[in-house]
Amino acid sequence: MSMMWAGRFSKEIDSRVNDFNSSIKFDARMYRSDITGSVAHAHMLGEQGIIDKSESEKITEGLWGILSDIDSGKLEIDPNAEDIHMFVEQVLTERLGDTGKRLHTSRSRNDQVATDLRHHLKYEEIPVIRTLLCDLTETIIGIAEQHYYTVMPGYTHLQRAQPVTFAHHILAYAQMLLRDLGRLDDCVKRMDEMPLGACALAGTTYPIDRNMTAASLNFGGVCQNSLDAVSDRDFCIELASAFSLIMMHLSRFSEEIVMWCSWEFKFIELDDAYSTGSSIMPQKKNPDVTELIRGKTGRVYGDLMTLLSMMKNLPLAYNKDMQEDKEAIFDACDTLKLCISTFTPMLATMTVLPDNMRRAAAKGFINATDCADYLVKKGLPFRSAYKATGSLVARCIELGTTLEELPIAEYKKYCDLFDDDVYDAISLDTCVMQRKSEGGPAPEAVAVQVERLKAALRALNDGYENKYRK
């Protein structure tokens, strides 16, 4: 019999069970981490005298050979293997005979898969997503720097509320992404403990040195409880949750872009290369990219839910249910990569239409708060100022005019504190320029925000480069 566990079994596995059980289709992508982990393990076995040093060296060489053969395409990963761990061990044994069979001493696929997955996420998935997120954040900052003076309406309840600038508005997303990056780094910090050496669940009687293996794999430490090491997937859940928040942020941004490029708003125009047409309506230019991102957000939430549900009633320690972790977390990784790498160039190539933004800001009485504040500055209590301004707005609506155009005589009917200087106080530019409070839309406040964002990004990347890059 060809199976790994041939000793105990007298029949070949049913081919349907074999297919059902197999995870090679989705865990093959971890081959680099699997082989790197096995090299570290074999080296430690040799150093500790658990296997002969000469054999450990042969195994190491054999493993590196397998890695380069997979990389070069010389060795194809067998889709009929049960999983990537079995596949690598099988090839090693084919190539080295009995020596290859010594690799799995003092190890189980349970600690192996938990180690591989953490290692793979830490080195091959998260860094890519991290870089994409940094690029996106920098792109947003770059656009913001061109629009310190582009006045647009700020909204609450999707009703025009108070004037802001386009820079101020989109930097809100840069702040969200900065926190998202921080969350990714937090996840990495906690997944940086190595499960290897927990073996099947209860450690081992061999004199292994887990810290030696962890150091060669560049893990920050080792999991302290062997049962916990092989049986939790909280690191996947935490990551999927961080991914879900990223998607939620992208989705909100996407929703705004969908609105902004509609004729109702026309605040922006997407580049032709990032829009699609209609098969029937010749005039259409659709923001499909942003709509798809909005749609795919649900998919990532689904991955998070898959992982949470998968874990909720599993007794310690390993259970096969947990094999489902990889499809969910890899789908989330792939979806994120796809979404961010399309969103960023779409954003970078869109045309901002400042005149339309300003026209929208000029309607809707978004300077009413400033009108009330004008009266407060002249000594009126805010509530009275609020009421007088409310009546003025009602009067403007009645006359079909704006606060800017209402004659001063009308103003005085509602409060004798009004004077000619009210027009300057309620001009859109004044409204924006005077909102200098920290975090506000005044260009000087936005410039401070941009400097801080850049510094925060630098700090995040410095910390990350030093600690987690291979």
- Which residues sit at the interface with ligand ARG, rule CB under 6 A? 23, 27, 83, 109-110, 113, 318, 320, 322-323
Nearest distance, CB of residue 62 and ligand ARG, angstroms: 21
Question: What phi and psi values does residue 331 have, to the nearest 5 degrees?
Answer: -60, -40
> How distant is the alpha carbon of residue 106 from its chain centre?
37
For residues 464 and 460, give the distance between their C-alpha atoms in angstroms, rounded to a whole number.
6
What amino acid occupies position 367? N
Nearest distance, CB of residue 236 and ligand ARG, angstroms: 12
Tokens read off for 75: 């060795």
| Under 8 Å between Cβ of 142 and 352 | no
Tokens read off for 371: 């009108």
Q: Among 2, 15, 72, 157, which one carries the catalytic annotation?
A: 157
Q: Among 54, 262, 278, 391, which one carries the catalytic annotation?
A: 278
For residues 467 and 48, give the distance between their C-alpha atoms in angstroms, rounded to a whole number.
28
- Residues 328, 333, 337, 339: what is their CA dihedral angle, to the nearest 10 degrees? 40
Kindly tell me which of 233 and 435 has the beta carbon lying closer to ligand ARG.
233
Known catalytic membership, residue 85: no
Provide the pairing of β-strand 159-165 with 221-222.
unpaired
| Under 8 Å between Cβ of 109 and 5 | no
Kindly tell me which of 27 and 180 has the beta carbon lying closer to ligand ARG.
27
The owner of tokens 């401070």 is 448
Q: In the 8-state DSSP scheme, what is residue 316?
A: S
Nearest distance, CB of residue 170 and ligand ARG, angstroms: 41
Kindly tell me which of 27 and 370 has the beta carbon lying closer to ligand ARG.
27
| Under 8 Å between Cβ of 85 and 107 | no
Nearest distance, CB of residue 23 and ligand ARG, angstroms: 4
Nearest distance, CB of residue 84 and ligand ARG, angstroms: 8
Question: What phi and psi values does residue 48 have, to the nearest 5 degrees?
Answer: -85, 0
What amino acid occupies position 347? L
Known catalytic membership, residue 278: yes
Tokens read off for 47: 């150093």
DSSP-assigned beta bridge partners for residue 153:
163
Kindly tell me which of 274 and 318 has the beta carbon lying closer to ligand ARG.
318
Q: If we measure between CA atoms, which residue out of 267, 252, 259 comes closest to residue 287? A: 259
Cα angle value 403/407/408 (rounded, 5°): 95
H or E element in which residue 216 lies: helix 210-216
Kindly tell me which of 66 and 322 has the beta carbon lying closer to ligand ARG.
322
Nearest distance, CB of residue 78 and ligand ARG, angstroms: 14
Nearest distance, CB of residue 63 and ligand ARG, angstroms: 18
Kindly tell me which of 17 and 280 has the beta carbon lying closer to ligand ARG.
17
For residues 445 and 433, give the distance between their C-alpha atoms in angstroms, rounded to a whole number.
9
Q: In the 8-state DSSP scheme, what is residue 75?
A: S
Kindly tell me which of 48 and 323 has the beta carbon lying closer to ligand ARG.
323
Kindly tell me which of 23 and 204 has the beta carbon lying closer to ligand ARG.
23
| Under 8 Å between Cβ of 66 and 84 | no
Cα radius of gyration rounded to whole Å, the chain: 30
Nearest distance, CB of residue 55 and ligand ARG, angstroms: 25
Which residues are tagged catalytic? Answer: 157, 278
